[in-house]
A and B are shown apart, each in its own frame.
Chain A
């Protein structure tokens, strides 16, 4: 199983004056980042992106979301002071804003490939589809949605990985370096692409909620055999 991308989103009620605060919230972590990007400057929807190349992730803050998007292998997230330290510190600073009014939801999304597992559409159809499913184009996927527990929902999508279209379709490139080893990996992979999404409504301990959702996403992903 190869992890291609991970997204953690903390969605909060819109902070209308975020453009006044976003840069100062992320400023303490600028010394560790390899790049900073600011979009829609001085507009209410201003978005700040901090790129951490060594950790292969980007932290994004705008007026209704704090997100972390990671490319490739994702590890070291189980400790409070580990990989996600700056992400949670940024959230603590966001919570301190007078105009912050609470979390709407927390969402975790993961994209993984199970290598050499029904890589062809025909073999995938044969394994998972009944005869009632009409023959269609060259793509195929299954979507399973459900409720994990109270306030917690999930969606699992899986289908043959298409190296030509899936990297664009799923925005798998976090860093636009088309010639690096990750791009070569995306070109050469064969197997089943599994996208797991788990979300929970309003939580008090955000760290525990994120770790729990990441574990649930892993559990879902491993269900595909």
Chain B
């Protein structure tokens, strides 16, 4: 099993990145390595011994949790709202939110730009899926790119304006 946990690169010059490596990894790379020579004189069990190695490549963390340590949060209410970006400000975003798909009821809402940026690069007309999950004492709102999962037909339904296309109105005065 690879037990190495690799330090992230942020703020560390490339040539000074370090990698934590288990004895097994070191021994695999250098078969002559022995515990007594390389590990500060300790004779600990190999799996518990680590040493720092120079690691010039970009590093990532490799950690494996056993499934039993991961406890998923449970929620009581869920709501998914389709939305389309109308305007993007310096620190805010105005969106057209479809609050009721059956009656096609829309409301304009303004959100902090930092939150909505979770849905990716923002521009006018971008579709966003707002997911709200809540339970007693807690509510989580997340913003996602809705390009593939928002139903666009409701936003692009202009049938309510069809009367304005009356021929009389189209004629020049």
Contact = CB atoms under 8 A, between A and B. Distances in A.
Interface of A: 27-29, 31-32, 53-56, 72-73, 75-76, 79-83, 85-86, 89, 177, 179-181
10 closest residue pairs by CB, A with B: A179-B68, A28-B148, A28-B149, A76-B78, A83-B78, A85-B80, A82-B78, A53-B72, A76-B77, A177-B67
Contacts of B101: 80-81
B51 interface: no
A206 to B, nearest CB: 14
Given A80-B102, A85-B80, A179-B67, 20 more contacts: A28-B148, A28-B149, A32-B144, A53-B72, A55-B78, A56-B72, A72-B74, A73-B74, A76-B78, A80-B101, A81-B79, A82-B77, A82-B79, A83-B78, A89-B149, A89-B151, A179-B68, A180-B67, A180-B68, A181-B71
Given A55-B78, A79-B79, A29 B67 contact: no
Nearest to B99: A81
Contacts of A54: 72-75, 133
Interface centre among B67, B77, B80, B148 (most CB of A within 10 A): B80
A181 B76 CA distance: 17
B65 to A, nearest CB: 12
Contacts of A32: 131, 144
B154 to A, nearest CB: 12
B145 interface: yes
Contacts of A27: 148
Given A81-B101, A180-B67, A56 B74 contact: yes
Nearest to B102: A80
Interface in B3-40: none
A76 B102 contact: no
Contacts of A28: 148-149
A37 B74 CA distance: 22
Contacts of B72: 53-54, 56
A41 B148 CA distance: 24
B19 to A, nearest CB: 29
Contacts of A181: 71
B110 interface: no
A112 to B, nearest CB: 17
B81 interface: yes
18 contacts: A27-B148, A28-B149, A29-B149, A31-B149, A32-B131, A32-B144, A54-B72, A54-B74, A54-B75, A56-B72, A76-B76, A76-B77, A79-B78, A81-B79, A81-B80, A82-B80, A85-B80, A179-B67
A181 B81 CA distance: 31
Interface centre among A53, A81, A82, A85 (most CB of B within 10 A): A81
A132 to B, nearest CB: 45
A82 B81 CA distance: 9
Contact of B75 (A55, A89, A179): A55
Nearest to A183: B68
A72 B72 CA distance: 12
Nearest to A73: B74
Nearest to A89: B149
A33 to B, nearest CB: 12
B98 to A, nearest CB: 9
